[in-house]
Amino acid sequence: MNLTIAGTGYVGLVAGVCFAHVGHNVTCVDIDEKKVELLRSGVSPIYEEGLEDFLKEGLSSNLLHFTTDYTSAYAGADVIFIGVGTPELADGSANLTYVATVARQIAESVTHDCLVVVKSTVPVGTNDKVEQFIKDSLVNKVCVEVASNPEFLAQGTAVHDMMHAARIIIGVESSHAESVLRTVYAPFNLPIVTVKRRSAEMSKYAANDFLALKISYMNDLANLCELVGADIEDVAKGMAYDDRIGARYLRAGIGYGGSCFPKDTKALEYLAKQHGYKLQTVAAAVSVNTSQRTVLYKKACNRMITFNGIKVAVLGLAFKAGTDDLRESPALYNIPLLLEQGAVITAFDPIAEANCRKQYDFSMQYAPTVSEALKDAQVCFIFTDWKEIRSTAPSAFKQLMRTPLVYDGRNLFDPVAMKTAGVEYYSIGR
């Protein structure tokens, strides 16, 4: 099938390379010329394991194309996926400007019947509006239908998640749209759940917000564990055996970040508010997360008289391991606090350093290795669960740091091993 994908971000690009991998003819459209140039040359502008291999494979099989020319890309497509961003607005609602722009471009460009599929995370009812908007603005006499197909991949494992998704949710209002999407996904051989469009839109928020809630619940409990002398890691271990609870997303830490959970919790709260309802559970998850992001900084402030002139090693900048994405990363909430206090920071991140240099003008140094970041440091903060950080020997903190004082937001080390190595070690909930 001829598929066109609008947006070559984490969702659009991953979908594009995976669709080409299973044999579809795919054209990816983006407005960013530099990105498109890079992609045409086989270089991925974002980091995801396996992504560049699929990209090169798609280019060499001639099944994958990149362009900024949306008119020709949309004109001949059988299916057009919309995978552009829906970032948070100041009031917490989702910004639908990018989706609306693509809808307008589709209406101006399509020359034969096609199915438009919204993959971006959008508030309930958006698909209805996109369909109406396209129908109202069509230039040619063609039939366009809209379907919802929310994406559930997680950054850090995006390609794997797309190829081996737990389920594909398709939200449709006609059997024709269902049959087209079933054909698109047939080569993946994955469970397909067909529901109405509004339920599909809601499923995405429901799933993301539930995971955010699970994380905040564990973080909330972790803080109580510290007060009562329990260990959140042991508590989680016991909970994980219960398949009514599930073993994943039980890890306490420095709070969730990234481009999805923070904005999708707020967007659902906003949607509820618009309808005169208060989603108390989601509001609680957001509130716990807001305070959790700086819980280590607050702990350190109780211990330190000042950060002025203090050498601080920051280990990890990305919001989680496996990605170069800094959006809503806990590190970004802590670094400004430390700099404001006069800390002298050396940061390490194996992948996200380049993005941090590009996007933020923090006055801090970067180190190419954990050891170099730790050298002579008086305090260390761990914000990301990179294996390069996890595999550091406890003795290295003692040997390299001027004072071995470590605040670990990811519980990467055994407190007893750290103590035995002579490290003053603080983590979350134990």
Which residues form the interface with ligand NAD (CB under 6 A)? 6-12, 29-32, 35, 83-86, 98, 101-102, 120-121, 151, 153, 155, 259-260
Q: Which is nearer to ligand NAD, 101 or 199 (CB)?
A: 101
Is residue 260 part of the annotated active site? The answer reads yes
Shortest Å, Cβ 234 to ligand NAD: 31
Could you count the other beta carbons within 10 Å of the beta carbon of residue 367? 19
Q: Are 418 and 394 in contact (CB under 8 A)?
A: yes
Query: From CA 38, how far away is CA 147, in angstroms rounded?
Result: 30
Nearer to ligand NAD (CB atom), residue 15 or residue 374:
15
Nearer to ligand NAD, 207 or 344 (CB): 207
As a whole number of angstroms, the distance between CA 20 and CA 10 comes to 16
Closest distance to ligand NAD from the beta carbon of 85 (Å): 4
Tokens 């998850």 correspond to 285
Long-range contacts of 218-223 (CB under 8 A, 24+ apart): 218/249, 218/250, 218/251, 218/252, 218/429, 219/252, 219/253, 219/255, 219/288, 219/289, 219/292, 219/428, 219/429, 220/288, 221/252, 221/429, 222/252, 222/428, 222/429, 222/430, 223/292, 223/295, 223/429
Least CB distance from residue 7 to ligand NAD, whole Å?
3
Smallest gap from residue 353 Cβ to ligand NAD (A): 19
Please report, in angstroms and rounded to a whole number, the separation of the first and last CA atoms in the chain.
53
CB of 81 to ligand NAD, least distance (A): 10
Q: Which CB, 7 or 171, lies closer to ligand NAD?
A: 7
Closest CB to ligand NAD among residues 12, 171: 12
Nearer to ligand NAD, 322 or 429 (CB): 322
CB of 10 to ligand NAD, least distance (A): 4
For ligand NAD, which residue has the nearest CB?
9
Q: How far is the CB of 137 from ligand NAD (least distance, A)?
A: 15
Residues in a beta bridge with 407: 381, 426
- Between residues 6 and 406, which has the closer beta carbon with respect to ligand NAD? 6
Q: Give least dist CB 296 to ligand NAD, A.
A: 25
Q: Could you tell me the CA-to-CA distances from 386 to 98, 317, 392, 419 in Å, in that order?
A: 33, 10, 10, 22
Q: Which is nearer to ligand NAD, 137 or 280 (CB)?
A: 137
Q: What is the CA radius of gyration of the chain?
A: 23
Catalytic residue among 18, 114, 225, 260: 260
Catalytic residues: 260
